[in-house]
A and B are shown apart, each in its own frame.
Chain A
Amino acid sequence: MSAARNAPLRRRGGALDPDRLVPRSRRALRATAVYAALVVLSLFILLPIGWMLTTALKPDTATIFTFPPEFIPTEYWRWENFVDALTAEGEPYLRYVFNTTVLVLANMTGAVVANSLIAYPFARLRFRGRNTLFVILLATLLLPAPVLLIPQFLLFFHIGWYGTYLPLVVPSFTGNAFFIFLLRQYMRTIPRELDEAARIDGAGYFTIYRRIILPLTAPALTVVAVFTFLGTWNDFFGPLIYLQDPDMFTVAVALATQVSRVGVEWNLLMASNLLAIIPPLAIYFIAQKKLIGGIASVGIRG
């Protein structure tokens, strides 16, 4: 991004820009090729979503599979499908949305509070065994998920958490190695003079954490919150194995079980599906810049 922004400045400067050494006609040709490739790729991404919207607006299943396939709604605009999807009998969609929202909010709270608390000493305090603990933290990133899955399930089963939301919420309050690492890296960039000034004014560690570190870590915390939102909203296998009562289902589980039902109405299913992707899409467009920056920073540092 920054490179792209610098480009015009450099070009104005003239002599050093390497692109100047390439003839203008070849540059134009190359730009055309790049745009053409990107347009094709974008269509590959957008057309299926367009098809989903088109289908969601159709009046019945008969109009869906006609030839040619329609990727942009032109003929049918049955917006009531969305209302029908939300209020379908036997499929309390709003209930699923509510359930999922509860899980999302609980997990976001847990992730923001726990990970920042845990990251703070790693970034700022001196204590014996800090390096060892940090290595352990990084090692847990590599732990075998499939092996943990079964005993964790048995653990939750035997303490009576099966069929409740607890297995889907409580772990987020004990921190996540990835997020701890991300926040620790970010906290280390905050000037230490601020802590020291606060110490001289008599502030304790918790006050420093609460009043100085936490507000200044807000951009990284946003990344943690957004990732947690997406992860929880989109989670499927967790709710699938821990939830029993259909009234407790999340949107993802409800959709996955609907699709296998005989005589499913595809237009309504696509409307439900579209409704399910609106929250993550909205969050993505709002937090886009930070989100992609966050992914990138995790990527390079790993």
Chain B
Amino acid sequence: MRPGAGEAGPGTTGGAAMDVPIQPIWAARRRRNQLANAEERAAFLFMSPWFIGLIFFLVVPLVYATWISLTDEQLLRVGDFVGLDNYATVLTNDDSFWTSMRVTLSWVVMTTPLFMTAGLGVALLLNQKLPGMNVFRTILYIPAVLSGVAVAILWFVLLNGEFGAVNQLLRAIGIANPPYWFEDPTWAMPALAIVGLWGIGGNAVIYLAGLQNIPPHLYEAASIDGAGDWAKFRQITLPMLSPTLFFILINSLVGAILVFPATVFVISGGTFRGGPDDSLLFAMYYIYRKVFIEGLMGYGTAVAWLLTLAGCVVVFVAFRLERRFVYYETQ
């Protein structure tokens, strides 16, 4: 960015604009055009870093990605054009891909409703007009600012099957054979969901902002009409909060489809193995494994496009549902 350039043009023309009254009308119009041009030039100059990023980090990679997904490109070897072979192989002859899709889908189905209700629940608690709520809000948001790796290491040890603090507590309250969490294919995903719940404050804060934007007079009117808590929640809170809920739904869906937790890397012993028996082989992990472990750039990109397509379908369906369930005040 060259600061001087944006400054010079309009500064001088701006000063000359004082003389406008004694000029013929066409000259004034031309001056106005010059001003507009100067403003436009300045605007594009200000935005030039964005254009550079748009071209080099977005358009070029996107076109390139389309091309290499049609080749057998590898890291150190330029690929040959193979048509749709990668896509065909992924869809018809790749069990691990379908495992990763199944794992990802279970995660979406399991955690989207769980995290959304939990986040809303926490926000409803924090929205009570009682002293000390700021302190609780501060505490509950802490995990959201911590690094994924640090959180992963912490829970990896806490959820250790034999010595972990969690299982020690479970045994103490009489559960003789608690699950071995990250060491057990059945329990690895629930364990990951527990780690996710630990960070629920991140969602709760967004809900909380939505809750605090609901005008209090709605509740006052409802109280005077004798509405109970549940009726108020059902008839006021939910509809008024539906835009926020929808925003979080879209965010959660995209987040869950592209889920890529450092926790899985840590509990897989610092590899892209994807948990015990591939029970946490999320689609993004599978792509990483294909690309950075096996070096199959073309193939990995084809998988990435398919994942994107699946994500678009899910988000599209969510947007279709928006019209029916989301209430916008301006309607």
Contacts and interface: CB of A to CB of B under 8 A. Distances in A.
Contacts of B206: 295-296, 299-300
Contacts, number: 308
Given A34-B128, A204-B6, A280-B146, A121 B42 contact: yes
Interface stretch (A85-93, A101-109, A172-180): A172-180
Interface stretch (B21-29, B88-96, B183-191, B265-273): B265-273
B138 to A, nearest CB: 6
B54 interface: yes
Nearest to A292: B205
A215 interface: no
B9 interface: yes
Given A171-B53, A255-B153, A120 B208 contact: no
B15 interface: yes
Contact of A252 (B49, B149, B201): B149
Contacts of B130: 31, 34-35
A175 to B, nearest CB: 4
Given A42-B140, A151-B68, A236 B147 contact: yes
Contact of B125 (A1, A34, A150, A210): A34
Contacts of A68: 168-169, 172
B110 interface: no
A284 interface: yes
Contacts of B138: 285, 288
Nearest to B203: A299
A234 interface: yes
Nearest to A269: B153
A260 B152 CA distance: 12
Given A45-B198, A277-B147, A7 B209 contact: no
A116 to B, nearest CB: 9
A206 B154 contact: no
A137 B147 CA distance: 28
Contacts of B244: 299-300
B39 interface: yes
A125 B53 contact: no
Contact of A296 (B43, B140, B208): B208
A299 B209 contact: yes
Interface of B: 1, 3-4, 6-11, 14-15, 36, 39-40, 42-44, 46-47, 49-50, 52-54, 56-58, 60-62, 64-65, 68, 73, 75, 122, 125-130, 132-134, 136-143, 145-150, 152-158, 160, 163, 165, 168-169, 172, 198, 201-202, 205-206, 208-210, 212-213, 216, 219-220, 222-224, 243-244, 247-248, 251, 258, 260, 262, 265-266, 269-271, 283-284, 287-288, 291-292, 297, 300-301, 304-305, 307-308, 311
Top-6 shortest CB links A-B: A174-B53, A296-B209, A260-B270, A18-B223, A299-B206, A69-B165
